[in-house]
Amino acid sequence: MYLFLAFLAVPIIEIALFIQVGGLIGLWPTLAIVIFTAVLGSWLMRSQGRLAMGQLRGSFQRLDDPTEPLAHGAMILVAGVLLLTPGFFTDAMGFALLIPPVRRAVFRFARSRVSVAQFQMGGATMYRAGPQGSGAHDPFGPQGDVIDGDFTEVKPGSQPRKTPPSGWVEGPDQRRS
């Protein structure tokens, strides 16, 4: 219902603002403002997007929770779409989303309304990777008693398929005399 109201209200607000601003300053200055805000918004979106990508990469390198940098990146993308949409109201909303404190406030509001059941990244203990021989643990390498293996699901009542022995253990038909 809220989405329907937004799709109904935003064009009405934009048309009303175009009529008011166009009546005050004229057609060509109004169109110039719309084009200028689209160009300025795309430039700001690009620069803010680079910063958000840097923060996201940093959170991955530190093995931190990437939720906030991802949310900031998404809000910057939405801001870009709003700025490229012709209109004064959408431009105001887009420019507001490009301001980091506004994005943080939107993120805090969204975080308070969303419930995450579980989030885990890496093992229980994570260390920073260090140079060879520094004693630092490699966070991407094996951790603890991890054994890599393959499995085949066997349905109850069916016979497992015959595979050649792996060579790791001696079966009854491989015993040496």
- pTM greater than the 0.85 cutoff: no
In angstroms, the CA 126 to CA 140 distance is: 9
pLDDT tens by residue, 69-95? 889 889 998 998 898 888 999 999 999
- Nearest to residue 44, comparing CAs of 88, 72, 79? 79
User: How many CB atoms within 10 Å of residue 29?
Assistant: 12
The pLDDT, as a whole number, for residue 41 is 83
CA 95 from chain centre, in angstroms, equals 20
User: How many CB atoms within 10 Å of residue 129?
Assistant: 14
* Percent of the chain surpassing pLDDT 70: 72
Residue 18 has pLDDT above 80, yes or no: yes
Beta strands, E only, 20-128: none
In angstroms, the CA 58 to CA 52 distance is: 10
